[in-house]
Amino acid sequence: MGKPNYLELEPLILARLEPLKADWPTLRIDAARDVAGVLAKDQRLPALCVLYGGDASVESTDGKDQLVGAVQRWGVVVSHRDLREPEAGRVSVGELAAAVIAQLQGWLPRGPEGGLGRLRRQPAPAPIYSKEGAVYLPLTFTCRVLSRGALGEP
């Protein structure tokens, strides 16, 4: 077994989204550090960009060791553009967003004993519209992450 990776969900989400390429053959799927990074990336659209959005700590004590958990926030920015008709870009981004939600909502990345909870949809920011006709629609999900640490150790 490798070293623990607090951000291990990122490659799992990326892999979970790969099958969408069957319906969108030119779909680009990758990760970014923040929304500015998404907007600055290669503008080959359609695209899905996965972002880590921070966490909130959750702790409980069982007497021997400390069960430490966090609720991580993950974003997927769904991007699409139709240069011929901007309204068609809105329809296309909506269809792609629906497919992303179907892939991720309620998904349990590693089964019940895997230390990662089910992904849950959360409120997300409003879409961004570029003057070039691209639509960037952010989706937000949360996932509970569990780990175990010795009580009293930093």
Residue 54: count of CB within 10 angstroms of its CB = 10
Q: Is 109 a domain residue? A: yes
User: Phi then psi for 24, rounded to 5 degrees?
Assistant: -130, 80
Does some domain include residue 68?
yes
Q: Tell which residue, 74, 49, 90, has the closest CA to residue 124.
A: 74
Classify residue 2: in a domain, yes or no.
Answer: no
State the residue range of the domain holding 117.
Answer: 9-150
- pTM of this structure: 0.85
31 found inside a domain: yes
- Domain count of the fold of the chain: 1
What does the pLDDT read at residue 17?
98
The tens digit of pLDDT for each residue in 119-154 reads 999 999 999 888 877 889 999 999 998 775 554 444
Residue 30 inside a domain? The answer is yes
CATH number of domain containing 96: 3.30.2000.10
Per-residue pLDDT tens over the stretch 34-92: 777 677 665 688 999 999 999 988 766 555 555 578 899 999 999 988 656 656 556 78
Look up tokens 């695209």; give the residue.
47
33 pLDDT band, cuts 50/70/90, is confident
Q: Is residue 24 part of a domain?
A: yes
Domain assignment present for residue 4? The answer is no
- Residue 15 within a domain: yes
